[in-house]
A and B are shown apart, each in its own frame.
Chain A
Amino acid sequence: AQSVTQPDIHITVSEGASLELRCNYSYGATPYLFWYVQSPGQGLQLLLKYFSGDTLVQGIKGFEAEFKRSQSSFNLRKPSVHWSDAAEYFCAVMGQGAQKLVFGQGTRLTINP
């Protein structure tokens, strides 16, 4: 069965600092990989996705993620965070040909001024 682990429940960084959110997945083959962001009281917004090809994918709002097959990881990065990046971030996987997204438990990001 597919599963997603986000090891960090809560991360605090200072505004302007770099950010890396970790995501590890378990799946027999290479799944589709996603990062979503959820602001308080809002729905889920897609930041970026990986299907195949270049393992470094660029997303919206200055985010990027790198797929590492050998580590079964898909970590999200941003070189310099802004106060508006404070939100909950979810990593998700979907098996190729499957219908459902399997989400991690989420990482809550707090930004210190």
Chain B
Amino acid sequence: DSGVTQTPKHLITATGQRVTLRCSPRSGDLSVYWYQQSLDQGLQFLIQYYNGEERAKGNILERFSAQQFPDLHSELNLSSLELGDSALYFCASSLRTGGSYGYTFGSGTRLTVV
């Protein structure tokens, strides 16, 4: 158990729908990162939050959004889902911001869009 909790573990939904993925960071970590892992794109950085504020943005689609709440958990919202959004979505957390503190990854949420 890495200490980063992601729910749900698996999600199957239809095209056009909206889903919310949840991440609870490791105790004491202030930074949360979201990554998407797909067969064709590999591991891609989506977005980072630090203590409730957005800090960095990667290849995140406009249909996707995220936020970090006062209790530091984060949610990734995916809307108007397409077949190509099927992927493994990882959350990671770190004590502060920047790589020198190291990331801890959760076990991911596997999203299947049918």
Interface residues of A (CB under 8 A from B): 32, 34, 36, 41-46, 49, 51, 90, 92, 94, 96-106
Contacts and interface: CB of A to CB of B under 8 A. Distances in A.
B24 interface: no
Given A32-B100, A90-B43, A106-B42, A99 B48 contact: yes
Contacts of A41: 107
Residue of B2, B48, B55, B99 with most chain A CB atoms under a 10 A cut-off: B99
B102 interface: yes
Contact of A43 (B42, B48, B106): B106
Contact of B105 (A45, A51, A94): A45
Contacts of A104: 42
Interface residues of B, number: 24
Given A44-B105, A100-B48, A51 B100 contact: yes
Nearest to A42: B107
Interface of B: 2, 4, 33, 35, 42-43, 45, 48, 55-56, 58, 90, 92, 97-100, 102-108
Contacts, number: 58
Contacts of A92: 43
Contacts of B45: 100-102
B56 A100 contact: yes
Contacts of B99: 32, 34, 94, 96, 98, 101
Contacts of A100: 33, 45, 48, 56, 58
B90 A103 contact: no
A100 B49 CA distance: 11
Contacts of A96: 98-100
B38 to A, nearest CB: 11
